[in-house]
Structure 1
Amino acid sequence: MHSQDKPLAPAYLTVIRADRPEQIGKRYDLEGTTLINAAGPGLSEGRAFVAEAANLSELAEWLTGLPTGCAVLTCGVPACPVPDDGLRIVRSDDLPTATKGEVIARTREYFRWPDGAGVLFLDFDPADGEPGLTAEAAAEILASAVPVLELVEALFWPSSSSHIGLSDGTDLTDRRGLHGYMLVADARDIPRAAMALHQRLWLAGHGRIVISGNGTLLERGPIDTAVHQPERVIYAAGAVLGAGLVQRRGDPVLMNKGGIAVFDSRMLLPDLTLDELRAYRRMVIAARKVVGPQAEQVRSDWVAATHEAEMRMKHPDATPEELARLCAEDAEGPQRLRRAVEARGPVALGLDHVLYAGAGKPVTARAIRDSPDYWLGRRICAPLEPSYRGWQHCASILQGHRGAPIIKDWSHGGGQIFTLGSWGEWTPAKEATRQRLLAGMREKG
């Protein structure tokens, strides 16, 4: 364990300044007395700078200095050298046509964990209907699972959606999520250590099973296990606010001050023993059984509603009675939807499957497949749960095999791949896509 005020080497992370669009992240506006949350656009282009923090107090200075709406963090660093004026970063789809020069995408190929000390990011998301945690409560939960963590310094700050209110002091959102930061001696151990912490939190009684909008059972705990990737963006700055709104998150809170500034995660967060692992698995299985019947009902309702939406898109002039008859006659539709939501690998969506470019903006998989020039690079709602996080654009339309459009869905921290029909069916734009790819390669040189 390291107990000095500063680690032998600073912890490194990346600050990405947004250039296009100039404003990213969550946005809140006030319409009358109603607070409207609009997910801002994702980062298309920016510049990456490597930052360093010798301790959590220095990290707090970085966090509070981030400009609202135009900068994000990653706990990983670019895999190539970063010049003093920053490293250009673009979307992976834009790399083939990017101008010459040093340019990378924010993907695993171009980001890695730092050598030496790094930042363990802890994203605390409350269960539905529960308030967000305070710094004191979060530190207590961590210590209940791993008692030695009460000796380790930890920095906490409410998430960008917390404590948004009016100038008269009215708090419209209260506490929502909470972000935690700890310094570890070897950043490369972060994914393993974070999973060990998640499992020990379950053993301490802090685990739960969540039912998604399509009936999938999701294993959850106090911390989000999907964020521990070197390229994963952290929206640490505050939200972008419309007229009449203010945000009062306060300053980051340092807990266990004077304790271990940077800790050996392999020593303090070891893997579960075989007996502990068996106990953890039994707890998860038991929790899943409790909510199983409810999840099946949710899934049945989702299949019926999604099937009806497909039929409505296919037969827009059908009366309610005709629509009910068409749904009853299409026995394969519900079975196909069930196979899609229960699949463990890439999912082939039917061409009549209804996707959403936003709330109230349906589009079929066939329409996207047949208009790749328009749709490639765009973001849409989750293919199998479009209302996820308020119709958030959490899926990207990318180029797959031979240029055919595919969808990569990041809802629930996943990375699920969806294809749109088969390659043999995808003929209208095949040659145009091939020519576009070749032109981009020639331009890049």
Structure 2
Amino acid sequence: MITTDTTKRAAIQSPAVQCHVTVFTTTNPKSLGKTFKLGMKGLEKSTAGHMRDGTFQVRCSSTAPELVALLSSVNTDQALSASLPINLSTSGQIVTKDAAESRPGALSRSKDCFAFAVGQPCLITLDYDPKDETLSRHQLWARLQDVCPAVAGSLAVWWCSGSSHIYNGDTEFQGLRGQRIYLIAADGGDIVRFGEVLAKRLWLNGHGRIEISASGAKLDRGLFDAAMFQPARLDFIGGSVCHPPLSQRRGAPVILSDGAWLDTKVAMPDLTATEEARYLAAIDDAKAAAEPAAAAARKSWVANRIEGDVARLVAAGCPADQARERVERTLNSALAGTLMGDFEITLQDGKVVTIGEVLDNRERYHGALCLDPLNPSHRGGAADGKLYLFGAVPTIYSFDDGGVVYRLRRQPMRLYLLPGCKAELASAIVQWLSGEPDVFTRGGVLVQVAEGGVRTVRKHRLSHLVGSRVALYRRSDKGQDVPVDIPSDVIDQVAELVGG
């Protein structure tokens, strides 16, 4: 019996209870995972697109030999998931989330349709994908036992990743890459917590690291991929498509321990307050040590984008003397978590749109999926972001690194400080404020929706608010635009006009 509802926990007591997994088979694209071929420069690798059409089948795998047999049967057009259909079906059609609305009975491979089996045994996939040092199978198993000794007596199966051991004849072109260790949890409802605590205990044992993204973000990375402890994730364990003369020789999965299902609640207790403090300190220390490298990456990220973005604005009619400053403001704002109107994002279907276009067409783009705004190549270009456009503050939520929220804002209004025209400037700012979705008056007082609440906008907050959303300039004697701060008396006038 398959159960994903918390009201059916008693099913775990049935002597016939079994562990189930979902096998996905794609029809579009034709394969999943990676493809290898020989090219002019040697071994060439490509990654298949995301599954748009296919089927799913729920299968049983409750013992180590059964799990070995199941893993060995997965093909290059298939992937494995520990999550099960929420509607309790055992087979059916898989389509994209958008297509599901017009395909009655079909499911999308999403958290809306698939979940871990609560109160039921459930597969745990420990996905080890090293960046530098590659541990052997024995070393990886030993590190896991260091932080979770109970796994030594539980069911555990090892196998290499789907992109390991690529050969050309008798010559190995690519050796061991990633690895998997599979366990079976006694209760799938504890997998998310188990994964979080496991990552923390690995950090406490010195097995965590900070990775620097292309945009300079400091990413918390552990021994195992944290994403695999979330529902509706795919494990591309079916191997790679190899064009002749290449072939793949991964061998068979290895049983590390033919024991019982793992009681994760006992095997991986929550951290004590002291341990939690040590863990947080370790993260802070590692991020501080990584800051010089992160700063260099941010500088490089801006430098690599600026010329192309300037050319795009100039081609769209922006004066050349304004384009560079405008692009610099936009890119630096993005690094700080706010995406302005000129910033481009890539939607799941490959279409590139600006934030301005998105805000002008909220009904069309609300709920759309996109690549991570700052790191679009993350996870092979996975659609890790989702647009939420009808709140007081439109946002993109990216699942990269455990969840990042990007605020969306129109490009700052460009105004000029002219001699004798402060009153006109104040009026222009007031008019602009009236169109901001997160700023309004309440009881004659200016307020802003921010930090999860409604904040009164006093003078210093108003100065920051206006300064971050209005680009103010004066004309130099040479006719060039020179950025200037908004005068204090103009802020006073704005406060009086809005609040009065």
Report what 1:309 is aligned to: 308
Deviation digits for residues 81-117 of structure 1, max 9, x if unmatched?
325xx2222111112222x3x2221111211211411
Q: Please tell me whether residue 22 in structure 1 is matched to residue 30 in structure 2.
A: yes
Q: Please tell me whether residue 210 in structure 1 is matched to residue 211 in structure 2.
A: yes
CA contact (8 A) 2:346 2:371 kept: yes
Q: Please tell me whether residue 39 in structure 1 is matched to residue 44 in structure 2.
A: no
Q: What is the TM-score with the length of structure 2 in the denominator?
A: 0.70
Report what 2:199 is aligned to: 198
Partners in 2 of 1:214 and 1:67 — Cα distance? 36
- What is the CA distance between 1:356 and its match in structure 2? 6.0
Q: Please tell me whether residue 120 in structure 1 is matched to residue 118 in structure 2.
A: no
Amino acid at match of 1:91: T
- What is the CA distance between 1:25 and its match in structure 2? 2.3
Q: Please tell me whether residue 92 in structure 1 is matched to residue 97 in structure 2.
A: yes
Change (3 A) 1:302 1:111: same
Q: Larger radius of gyration, structure 1 or 2?
A: 2
Report what 1:365 is aligned to: 354
Report what 1:224 is aligned to: 225
Change (3 A) 1:199 1:244: same
Deviation digits for residues 354-383 of structure 1, max 9, x if unmatched?
44689xx994527975999x9999987542
Query: Structure 1 residues 375-384 or 229-238, which shifts more?
Result: 375-384
Unaligned ranges ≥5, structure 1: 1-6, 426-445
Query: Structure 1 residues 286-295 or 393-402, which shifts more?
Result: 393-402
Amino acid at match of 2:43: L
Q: Please tell me whether residue 385 in structure 1 is matched to residue 379 in structure 2.
A: no
Report what 1:340 is aligned to: 334
Q: Please tell me whether residue 282 in structure 1 is matched to residue 272 in structure 2.
A: no
Report what 1:73 is aligned to: 80
Change (3 A) 1:254 1:364: same
Change (3 A) 1:411 1:362: same
Deviation digits for residues 57-89 of structure 1, max 9, x if unmatched?
211111110121x11111010011325xx2222
- What is the CA distance between 1:164 and its match in structure 2? 1.4
Deviation digits for residues 371-423 of structure 1, max 9, x if unmatched?
99x9999987542124446xx32227877658xx997755556576786959x
Change (3 A) 1:274 1:380: closer
Amino acid at match of 1:154: A
Aligned pairs (5 A) from 1:125-204: 125-127=129-131, 129-131=132-134, 133-166=135-168, 168-204=169-205
- What is the CA distance between 1:261 and its match in structure 2? 2.3
Partners in 1 of 2:369 and 2:136 — Cα distance? 34
Q: Please tell me whether residue 353 in structure 1 is matched to residue 343 in structure 2.
A: yes
Partners in 2 of 1:419 and 1:96 — Cα distance? 28
Partners in 1 of 2:312 and 2:176 — Cα distance? 40
Partners in 1 of 2:287 and 2:156 — Cα distance? 32
Amino acid at match of 2:163: S
Report what 1:51 is aligned to: 59
Amino acid at match of 1:353: F
Partners in 2 of 1:33 and 1:196 — Cα distance? 43
Query: Structure 1 residues 374-383 or 233-242, which shifts more?
Result: 374-383
Q: Please tell me whether residue 271 in structure 1 is matched to residue 270 in structure 2.
A: yes
Partners in 2 of 1:378 and 1:29 — Cα distance? 34
SS at match of 1:315: helix
Change (3 A) 1:207 1:186: same
Partners in 1 of 2:268 and 2:16 — Cα distance? 20
Report what 2:464 is aligned to: none
Unaligned ranges ≥5, structure 2: 1-14, 412-434, 437-500
Change (3 A) 1:312 1:188: same
Change (3 A) 1:285 1:227: same
Q: Please tell me whether residue 105 in structure 1 is matched to residue 108 in structure 2.
A: yes
CA contact (8 A) 1:157 1:180 kept: yes
Amino acid at match of 1:76: S
Q: Percent identity?
A: 28
Change (3 A) 1:29 1:54: same
Deviation digits for residues 258-302 of structure 1, max 9, x if unmatched?
4x3211100011111111111111111111111112212211221
Partners in 1 of 2:396 and 2:45 — Cα distance? 25
SS at match of 1:172: strand
Cα-Cα RMSD: 3.4
Change (3 A) 1:8 1:335: farther
Change (3 A) 1:122 1:397: closer
CA contact (8 A) 1:352 1:364 kept: no
Report what 1:443 is aligned to: none
SS at match of 2:172: coil
**Residue-pair matches, total:** 392
Partners in 1 of 2:409 and 2:165 — Cα distance? 41
Report what 1:435 is aligned to: none
- What is the CA distance between 1:353 and its match in structure 2? 2.3
Aligned pairs (5 A) from 1:294-333: 294-315=293-314, 328-330=324-326, 333=327
Report what 2:70 is aligned to: 62
Partners in 1 of 2:34 and 2:335 — Cα distance? 29
Amino acid at match of 1:21: P
- What is the CA distance between 1:316 and its match in structure 2? 5.3
CA contact (8 A) 1:73 1:235 kept: yes
Q: What is the TM-score with the length of structure 1 in the denominator?
A: 0.78
Amino acid at match of 2:222: G
Partners in 2 of 1:181 and 1:249 — Cα distance? 17
Amino acid at match of 2:72: T
Report what 2:383 is aligned to: 395
- What is the CA distance between 1:23 and its match in structure 2? 2.2
SS at match of 2:171: coil
